[in-house]
Amino acid sequence: MQLEFTAGELGFRDVVRAFIATHYPAHVRAKQLAGLELEKDDYLCWHRIVAERGWSVPAWPVEYGGTGWSATQRHIWAEELQRADTVPIIAFSPISSDR
């Protein structure tokens, strides 16, 4: 049984890691570090960024807006979100903040 990631999966992990590092909202991170309560707009800000990349619903079929990622890639995505301590992506939340 192969339990290590392949070179391609490690490359994918690096892409995900770099995306999070460069796109996670600084104001959300600052609030987290200060122990401040996050607001709906904080969650939606991150959600919009991820949605623009097409990564907000990784398990959905491609024809419905999903990524087409393998189970391992979805695992890596979830693991990297947790590693970076991002706010959760709420798959069924409206993108618009006026709801």
**pLDDT of res. 91:** 65
**pLDDT of res. 26:** 98
DSSP for 63-91, written as a single string:
GGT-----HHHHHHHHHHHHHTTPPPP-T
Token pair for 79: 């693991």
Over its length of 99 residues, how does the chain's per-residue pLDDT go in tens digits? Answer: 778 999 999 999 999 999 999 999 999 999 999 999 999 999 999 999 999 999 999 998 999 889 999 999 999 999 999 999 999 988 665 554 444
User: What is residue 10's three-state secondary structure?
Assistant: helix
Token pair for 50: 């991820």
**pLDDT of res. 92:** 63
User: Domain coordinates of the chain in residue numbers?
Assistant: 7-83
